[in-house]
């Protein structure tokens, strides 16, 4: 595929923690910031952060003491912590960045406003997007799809701990087969777990391709924004011509 000009990257909260750990690990934070910084020179880049290293709303709700909506808001606040850390790390490295939140937290983050976000792109700033969509019952994957649509992104990057999309769980099935490419329609029909179904459906409707890759292979983000084929490209069956920005 041609090299994109505007990209939304979704990274999980677990990426910020040491293996099997919680919270924010300084080495992981440096790795994430370095990889993002290296890729930011050639594209407009927005990063949607998860919060599973701080609190997982779904898991918390299942314990029965906190209702799902409240647990989801707690998860959104976890993404703000990760967003603050990432924004600060990028700024310390000399890469102008802005943290934008879907929840109103004016002391620490700007509100997400589409026109303001695009203005930051025009100024050459990296966007760090926190608090999901600002609504309970929606995942940060759905937030990434929504922001990709709002911002006119050419590509949605889904950074994971595996090197693409498989026909079954590769951790449980040694004979699992990895797809080099896949249609969004097929990923939805087969429920392959690329992203949640709401996120995938939005990408299908808006004709936004999704590239799924191993985040912890150095240079993978830069390769993806350069148009290289890595991981699995999950694309619409009938893509529209790329709009100009």
Tell me the residue range of the domain where 183 lies.
6-235
Over 60: is that where the pLDDT of 14 sits?
yes
CATH of the domain at 117: 3.40.1160.10
pLDDT band for position 155 (50/70/90)? very high
Considering the domain boundaries, does residue 34 fall inside one?
yes
Considering the domain boundaries, does residue 68 fall inside one?
yes
Which neighbouring-strand residues pair with 44?
Answer: 6
Q: What is the pLDDT at residue 187?
A: 93
Question: What digits encode the pLDDT tens for the residues 177-228?
Answer: 999 999 999 999 998 888 999 999 999 999 999 999 998 899 999 998 888 8
The rounded distance, in Å, linking the Cα atoms of 180 and 183 is 11
Considering the domain boundaries, does residue 240 fall inside one?
no
User: What are the backbone angles phi and psi of residue 154, rounded to the nearest 5°?
Assistant: -80, -25
The rounded distance, in Å, linking the Cα atoms of 164 and 214 is 7
Instruction: Work out the burial of residue 228: count CB atoms within 10 Å of its CB; fewer than 13 is exposed, 13-18 middle, 19 or more buried.
Output: middle
Considering the domain boundaries, does residue 71 fall inside one?
yes
The rounded distance, in Å, linking the Cα atoms of 132 and 139 is 7
More confident residue, 171 or 22: 22
pLDDT band for position 9 (50/70/90)? very high
How many domains does one find in the chain?
Answer: 1
* Residues 134-154, mean pLDDT to the nearest whole number: 96
Considering the domain boundaries, does residue 19 fall inside one?
yes
Share of the chain above pLDDT 70, in %: 97
Over 50: is that where the pLDDT of 245 sits?
no
Strands 181-183, 232-235: parallel, antiparallel or unpaired by DSSP?
parallel
Considering the domain boundaries, does residue 244 fall inside one?
no
Over 60: is that where the pLDDT of 135 sits?
yes
Q: What is the pLDDT at residue 6?
A: 96
Considering the domain boundaries, does residue 242 fall inside one?
no
Question: What is the DSSP secondary-structure string of the chain?
Answer: -PPPSEEEEEE-GGGGSPTT--S--HHHHHHHHHHHHHHTTSSEEEEEE--TTT--HHHHHHTSSS-HHHHHHHHHHHHHHHHHHHHHHHHHTT--EEEEESS--TTT-EE--HHHHHHHHHTTPEEEEESTTSSTT--HHHHHHHHHHHHT-SEEEEEESSSSEESS-TTT-TT--EESEEEHHHHHHHT--SS-HHHHHHHHHHT--EEEEETTSTTHHHHHHTT---SEEEE-SSPPPPPP-
Over 90: is that where the pLDDT of 119 sits?
yes
More confident residue, 192 or 243: 192
Over 80: is that where the pLDDT of 53 sits?
yes
Considering the domain boundaries, does residue 96 fall inside one?
yes
Share of the chain above pLDDT 90, in %: 76
pLDDT band for position 7 (50/70/90)? very high
The two structure tokens encoding residue 227: 């148009």
* Residues 96-125, mean pLDDT to the nearest whole number: 98
């Amino acid at each position: 595929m041609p090299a994109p000009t505007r990209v939304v990257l979704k990274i999980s909260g677990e990426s910020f923690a040491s293996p099997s750990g919680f919270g924010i690990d300084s080495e992981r934070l440096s790795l994430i910031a370095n990889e993002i910084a290296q890729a930011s020179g050639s594209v407009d880049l927005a990063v949607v952060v998860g919060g599973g290293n701080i609190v997982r709303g779904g898991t918390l709700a299942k314990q029965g003491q906190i209702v799902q909506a409240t647990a989801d808001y707690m998860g959104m606040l976890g993404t703000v912590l990760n967003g603050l850390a990432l924004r600060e790390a990028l700024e310390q490295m000399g890469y102008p960045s802005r943290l934008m939140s879907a929840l109103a937290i004016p002391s620490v983050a700007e509100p997400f406003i589409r026109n303001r976000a695009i203005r930051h792109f025009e100024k050459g700033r990296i966007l760090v997007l926190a608090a999901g969509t600002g609504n309970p019952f929606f995942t940060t994957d759905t937030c990434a799809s929504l922001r990709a649509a709002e911002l006119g992104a050419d590509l949605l990057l889904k950074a994971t701990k595996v090197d693409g999309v498989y026909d079954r769980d590769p951790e449980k099935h040694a004979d699992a087969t990895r797809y080099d490419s896949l249609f969004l329609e097929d990923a939805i029909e087969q429920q392959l777990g690329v992203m949640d179904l709401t996120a995938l459906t939005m990408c299908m409707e808006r004709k936004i391709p999704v590239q799924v890759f191993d985040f912890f292979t150095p240079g993978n983000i830069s390769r993806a924004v350069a148009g290289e084929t890595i991981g699995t490209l999950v694309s619409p069956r009938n893509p529209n011509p790329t709009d100009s920005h």
